[in-house]
Structure 1
Amino acid sequence: MPWETSVSTVALNTPDKRLALFKLSQLAEEREKEHNGVLAPKPVREAAERPLLDLLSEYLQDVESRGRAITTVKKYRKILRKLFARCRWLKLQDVTARSFCQWRNQCGLTGKTTNDLLACATTFFDWLEGQRMLTANPLKYVKRTDTRGQAQFRRALSQTEVANLLSHAPHSRAVVYLAAIYTGLRRKELNNLKWGDLHLDAPQPFVLAPASITKNKKDARLPLRPEVVEALRSIRPADASPFQFVFNGQVPRVKTLRKDLSRAGIIFIDESGRRLDFHALRNTFGTLLAVNHVPLTDAVHLMRHSDPKLTMKIYTDASQLALSDSLAKLPSLVVCVGQRAS
């Protein structure tokens, strides 16, 4: 075609010259319509005919091939399939900003949850656009829910609650909780930690979480407090191999954590609706750093955050900060009794 910069070869699959010319003219007409925007490109038309779940499977295969964790891929599959069903999206033509917003308005889910769903769906449709299977992301201009002023999803344990949890949980799980609270390591990272990653006999003991198990895919060297070193030694088998998992399935899920919290007299969801799941132990780590006046730069590195705002806003439970003590440090300023207005 005149506007194409390179010559393309097309198989017409016929020995009949007249039929070949007819097919060629049809192809040329189709290309011209595509060029003028009258007809969508062929890959877009083909994708429009496929079930949305087929396209999702292709997307997830690509996500997995790019090195994302299997658990992450499973999470994307689960939440996107649910979203498609709830919005009644069977094919790409069903996906509209209006249908998403109508579902969001009546779904009853929290703003954080709907924002997470929107982010996952947007990433999927961006991928389809990048693969030339979609001309434009239908959710591109959908605004996120404003969650300012809403209570945080999680809270941190107080120091008293931490002590109670550690004293009431079985020893093997108490060691997991202690390690999580003093390192900020996530569930997946703890689950995949091996004895060879722990350097308990170094002059300054540390854990070196390899990039293969960390969320940001970077090696993480974290110092270990003496209490953590002692606790880890108490569960290390005498014949432990460097390639053996440290916690060997002992990182508890929510159901088990709730039982341990109950034994310790700690409520799972407080009066503000904030919960104490396993990731709340990471919030506890961040809050302990803040409460004990650890410099922000150090706290950001220990939390392994790329943005200090995450450390300050999301992983610091402000209800545990000694704000009255901080206010008391200001100089005393008073209004004289009996002072007259000028």
Structure 2
Amino acid sequence: MAAVYKKKYPIPMPDDAEIIDRRGKKLARWTNGKGQERTAEVLDDGRVQFVSDYWYIRYTDASGKMRRQSTGCRDKRTAEKVLADILSNVEKVKAGVMSQSEVAAVGHLDTPLDKHIKDYLADLAVKMIRGRRVSPKHIRHVRKELGRVVRECDFKTLRDIDRQALQRWMDKLARTPREPDDPDSHPLSARTINMHRSAVAAFCNWCVADGRLIANPLAGLPKAEESGPARKRRALTEDEIARLLKAAQERPLRDALTIRRGKNKGKLLAKVNCEERQRLERVGRERTLVYKFMILTGLRRGEVASLTVGALCLDETNPYVRIEGKHAKSGRAATLPLRGDLADDLCKHVDRLVGGGKAAPDTPLFDIDWRNLLRTFNLDLAAAGIPKRDAQGRTVDVHCLRHTFATLLARNGVSPSVAQKLMRHSDIRLTMNTYTHLHLADTANAVAALPTI
């Protein structure tokens, strides 16, 4: 039989309890660990009868099983309403109007979205994709994107998530400048808007898989039109490569030697002890090698960060580096050749890494601050006199080193199919149209190479 009740159970008499008499009943009064005053009936055996703060319910479900659960309510009438709703759903299941899974989903509809999102992020944190866990960085991005959508669309519960509301929000973002008072401000890019859309859609798909929703309320929501690349990148010229590598080599020590204030401001007169000078020179060498490695292999930043000493095969006739599938963006393992001078540089680097001894295979190949690499790269660009953005609006960032690799391959006559394989692209159009940046001079040289007729 269905009922609403409070749990009662005996507990030991608290040490600081005061025994009082109220209406002929012996009661104990004490202050709990939270500073709250509690009162309970004293039992014949000297213990006290503790009564729960919340109301519980007891009922028989559609399968005939007795269920007991907390309502989370302190008010009896509210708890009775919870029980009435549950009994109504039980009758609907018995009548075939609803399924048990639908009833279970209904129970989640009014739970605050914050709790669902917290559970979703916790599930993401232990999820394995292609043999590796979802990165903390990705989880931070998802939390930020979900938080923004929920806040700006005023979604409080799963029941509130609405396709039309999200569509209106996406349209507004596409029209409204990020800084309305700034005449040079632009709306969010279509790609960024779609990242927010994907975050919410993935969350809803998880809710469906976890039985919290019957169907995804965002099904059929179109993506924002991405008519062009979110960012126009360019490849570095050979002169810029040389300047960048020189700046990366010299800047750590140069910055330490530079006077920042006073009459000698800007001069290289600061005192740096021998040990610190050697450390800064080592930092410059390693950073230069990282840039050179990325330019001559086309590996992405995350892929390079994952490399260990054991990934290098430098003693072979044709030295190479191995990328494990779990670290590659495509999820497929790959073997990439290393140019002779780069292999020599890596061999010296590994020797310095372990002081001439033998390095363990799992030793990280490079010891740099990967999280701040973009900031470091931008400072090196400035030191090299390379503009971050050119007159055509094209930008230079760390990923442009991969573009530089593809462009150098094309300029040096490497066939498109070989370039595609080295870039590890599934579509040759991505290699040739997005990553290869050829100018009129390059194509003019190709035409000039044609035979005389």
* Distance in 2 (alpha carbons) for counterparts of 1:117 and 1:153: 21
Structure 2 CA distance for partners of 1:167 and 1:101, relative to 1, 3 Å: same
How far apart are 1:250 and its partner, in Å?
A: 4.9
Structure of larger gyration radius: 2
* Counterpart check, 1:59 vs 2:120: yes
Structure 2 CA distance for partners of 1:148 and 1:291, relative to 1, 3 Å: farther
How far apart are 1:319 and its partner, in Å?
A: 5.2
Q: Which structure's residues are more often helix, by fraction?
A: 1
Q: 1:75 maps to what in 2?
A: 141
Structure 2 CA distance for partners of 1:132 and 1:13, relative to 1, 3 Å: closer
Deviations, residues 204-248 of structure 1 (Å, cap 9, x unaligned): 101112234222333221111123212223322223332211111
Q: Which of 317, 323, 339 is the aligned partner of 1:225?
A: 339
Equivalent residues in 2 for 1:162-311, closer than 5 Å: 162-170=241-249, 171-236=285-350, 237=352, 238-239=356-357, 240-251=359-370, 253-311=373-431
* Distance in 2 (alpha carbons) for counterparts of 1:24 and 1:75: 37
How far apart are 1:148 and its partner, in Å?
A: 2.1
Q: Secondary structure at the match of 2:217?
A: coil
Structure 2 CA distance for partners of 1:27 and 1:100, relative to 1, 3 Å: closer
Q: Secondary structure at the match of 1:180?
A: helix
Task: Structure 1: give runs of 5+ residues left out of the alignment.
Answer: 1-7, 15-21, 333-342
* Counterpart check, 1:117 vs 2:117: no
* Distance in 2 (alpha carbons) for counterparts of 1:76 and 1:60: 8
Q: For the Cα contact (< 8 Å) 2:233–2:395, is it kept in 1?
A: yes
Structure 2 CA distance for partners of 1:302 and 1:95, relative to 1, 3 Å: same
* Distance in 1 (alpha carbons) for counterparts of 2:243 and 2:434: 24
Q: TM-score, normalised by structure 2?
A: 0.62
Q: 2:3 maps to what in 1?
A: none
Letter paired with 2:239: T
* Counterpart check, 1:12 vs 2:132: no
Q: For the Cα contact (< 8 Å) 1:12–1:23, is it kept in 2?
A: no
* Counterpart check, 1:31 vs 2:150: no
Task: Structure 2: give runs of 5+ residues left out of the alignment.
Answer: 1-61, 69-83, 174-186, 250-284
How far apart are 1:312 and its partner, in Å?
A: 3.0
Q: TM-score, normalised by structure 1?
A: 0.79
Q: For the Cα contact (< 8 Å) 2:93–2:99, is it kept in 1?
A: no
**Count of residue correspondences:** 318
Q: For the Cα contact (< 8 Å) 2:287–2:368, is it kept in 1?
A: no
Q: Secondary structure at the match of 1:314?
A: helix
Q: State the identity %.
A: 31
* Distance in 2 (alpha carbons) for counterparts of 1:146 and 1:116: 12
Q: 1:45 maps to what in 2?
A: 106
Structure 2 CA distance for partners of 1:43 and 1:161, relative to 1, 3 Å: farther
How far apart are 1:79 and its partner, in Å?
A: 2.8
Q: For the Cα contact (< 8 Å) 2:92–2:98, is it kept in 1?
A: no
* Counterpart check, 1:96 vs 2:150: no
Q: Secondary structure at the match of 1:254?
A: helix
